[in-house]
Amino acid sequence: MSELEVKTRAEGDPAYQWDLTPIFPDDAAWREALERAGEFIPRLEAFRGRLGSSGESLLEYMALGEEISEAVEPLYGYASLKSDEDTAVSVYQDMRSKARSLLVRLSTASAFATPEIIAIPDGTLEGFYAAAPGLEKYRIALDETRRRRAHILSEREEALLAGAGEVAAAPYNIYNLFESADLKFPDAIDSEGEAHPLSNGSFVTLLHSQDRALRADAFARFYDVYLGMQNTAAALLDAQMKQLKFFSGARGYDSARAAALDVTNVPLPVYDSLVEAVNANLGEMHRYMALRKKLMGLDALHMYDIYTPMVADADAAIPYAQARQTVLEALSVLGEDYGAVLRRAFAERWIDVYENTGKRSGAYSSGLARPHPYILLNHKNTLDSLFTLAHELGHTMHSYLSAKNQPTVYADYVIFVAEVASTVNESLLMRHLLGKTTDRRQRAYLINYFLEQFRTTVYRQTMFAEFEQRCGEMCANGDALTAEALNELYYGLNRRYYGPATEVDERIKIEWARIPHFYYDYYVFQYATGFSAAIAISSRILAEGQSAVGDYLRFLSLGCSKTPIELLKIAGVDMTTPEPVNAALKLFGELIDEMEGLMKE
């Protein structure tokens, strides 16, 4: 068997599988820790009615919150990671369910806290800080809780909402099992009649193939499976939007989108200005599609043609060992300390590298603070997999440095800045590769890949953001999110974004059903804003050197101790202006110009 052949988990090489024993040595230890964690519930309930009584009581409660986080995060993390190794193994699904139930019970038990905290008069709270100096550590967290006081309900209402959390998670949980474990795909057939395994993990890799017949067949067979389940998929997304509507309405927000952005303290106009800026620059996207059609020599550019490299003979296999070394070299500009942690991640098996049967598709960094983050990959020896490795290591370093430098209460970072570190790594990797390349066709190949990052991260994710926004508006208006309505909406967006040079195949209308991020609560727009910020930060690092690196590492180390807008300003980017997005799209246009010039030579 080759390393890329899809095997069972047991057949894989443990050297390329993550080592979870630093979290728990075995499942029995996890179960013991789960039982002990139940003891937190009466400890929490003992504070009911006491948080406004004294600074000492409030301090003790806040410290207990940190203790609970440190004990419970590994419980959910271990169960989730084990479940993702093979989603068909029911024992780990059950463990994850038990961990999630514990989180709900803890949330329910502490539902009194936020109403009590926001009820403390400002003057009284200032007196608490003076009487209990240790409470000063939690001032930022308490201010953040009180910032949203208009949307906090009574204790009984908060308890009801917390108790409904498990039900609210059902659409995503069902979708995850549906997409990862239950959907089965027929093999895709190439131009020679050979069969290729088709899965969520292999689909995009097949779309990169130079065999157009294989691309077309994979595209048709893959989306036909989703079309066969479109009503189920639509019902899941409809349920997701309805639960978001319910919770945001219960808290008095104008929309689910407003509620989602308020959680991370991101101004709603940032979302709107992104959509406006990208729509104002759709001409560049259309120009890119026309260039792709021309360079590929196609009479019609189909949706299954837009992933394969335009510079075919420059494509080369990149084994995992080579990818690892290249990433280390590219990120060396961030300093020796940064590189030392990367080497630990490889040596200590923080990374699960290859696809196996039942393994969750895609890639992610777990964000665990203790003992460290873990990375799930489905490495395919492609340039895309090289960039995915750099991307997930960016997330991992952000989590690691924030946890190392911040107390538990501030160790996490909000979603809005989550995609910045990952994309800075990708941008530095691209600049590194371009800096080493003298061959004209290799440079064109890399620029093609960079252009694809803009297409998939700025344009495509903004298209997703428009789709998600429109779904929320339809739900708010009482319109049912039927398969027909969702297909029509999604197909229309694809036609507008990809433009007249692209043959927008009808099957693309069901692509929304394979996008798990639509269950992440208005997450996708942040890929586009994060990419734009990352382009600015990486450019500054390469231009200014150590001073910019220092600012960037400070950004990575601050967790959520400042607002996301303030954090990005520390790294040198002001996302309250349209400048980062406009600058990124300007660079996109310049790359198209360079690609046209290279291909004429």
Q: Are 430 and 587 in contact (CB under 8 A)?
A: no
- Catalytic annotation, pick one of 158, 284, 355, 392: 392
For residue 71, the domain's CATH number is: 1.20.140.70
pLDDT at 3: 73
List, for residues 504-540, the tens digit of each pLDDT value. 999 999 999 999 999 999 999 999 999 999 999 998 9
Q: What percent of the chain has pLDDT over 70?
A: 99
List, for residues 533-587, the tens digit of each pLDDT value. 999 999 899 999 999 999 999 999 999 999 999 999 999 998 888 888 888 899 8
482 occurs within a structural domain: no
Q: Are 529 and 414 in contact (CB under 8 A)?
A: no
- CA dihedral (477, 479, 485, 490) positive or negative: positive
C-alpha radius of gyration, the chain, whole number:
24
In the DSSP assignment, the letter for residue 7 is: B
**pTM score of the predicted model:** 0.81
CA–CA separation, 396 and 376 (whole Å): 11
What is the overall mean pLDDT for the chain? 94
pLDDT tier at 1, thresholds 50, 70, 90: very low
pLDDT at 2: 65
Q: Are 530 and 423 in contact (CB under 8 A)?
A: yes
β-bridge partners, 241: none
Residue 151 reports pLDDT greater than 80: yes
Q: Are 421 and 397 in contact (CB under 8 A)?
A: yes
Q: Are 360 and 91 in contact (CB under 8 A)?
A: no
- Helix, strand, or coil (residue 351): strand
Pinpoint the alpha helices (H) of 38-121: 40-45, 55-85, 90-109, 113-119
- Structure-token pair, residue 328: 């280390």
Concatenated DSSP letters of 459-513 = IHHHHHHHHHHHHHHHHHTT----HHHHHHHHHHHHHHHH-TTEE--GGGGGGGG
529 occurs within a structural domain: no
**Is 70 designated active site?**
no
Expressed as residue numbers, the domain containing 65 is 14-168
CB atoms within 10 A of CB 195: 11
Name the one residue in this structure whose structure tokens are 């196609």.
Answer: 298
pLDDT at 389: 98
483 occurs within a structural domain: no
The 3-state secondary structure of 265-282, one letter per residue: CCCHHHHHHHHHHHHHCH
pLDDT at 285: 97
Task: Kindly provide the residue ranges of all beta strands, DSSP E only, lying in 287-407, ordered along the sequence.
Answer: 301-302, 351-352, 364-365, 375-376
CA–CA separation, 542 and 432 (whole Å): 10
CA angle, 180 then 186 then 189, to 5°: 130
- CA dihedral (19, 367, 547, 427) positive or negative: positive
List, for residues 275-309, the tens digit of each pLDDT value. 999 999 999 999 999 999 999 999 999 999 999 98
pLDDT at 60: 98
Residue 346 reports pLDDT greater than 80: yes
107 occurs within a structural domain: yes
Q: Are 444 and 598 in contact (CB under 8 A)?
A: yes
User: In the chain, how many domains are there?
Assistant: 1
pLDDT tier at 601, thresholds 50, 70, 90: low
List, for residues 488-502, the tens digit of each pLDDT value. 999 999 999 999 999
Concatenated DSSP letters of 519-560 = GSSS-THHHHHHHHHHHHHHHHHHHHTHHHHHHHHHHHH-TT
What element of type H or E holds 188? Answer: strand 188-189
101 occurs within a structural domain: yes
CB atoms within 10 A of CB 359: 25
- Select from 108, 102, 92, 97 the least CA-distant residue to 35: 102
151 occurs within a structural domain: yes
List, for residues 9-53, the tens digit of each pLDDT value. 999 999 999 999 999 999 999 999 999 999 999 999 999 999 999
CA–CA separation, 93 and 96 (whole Å): 5
CA–CA separation, 456 and 511 (whole Å): 14
Q: Are 180 and 172 in contact (CB under 8 A)?
A: no
CB atoms within 10 A of CB 179: 22
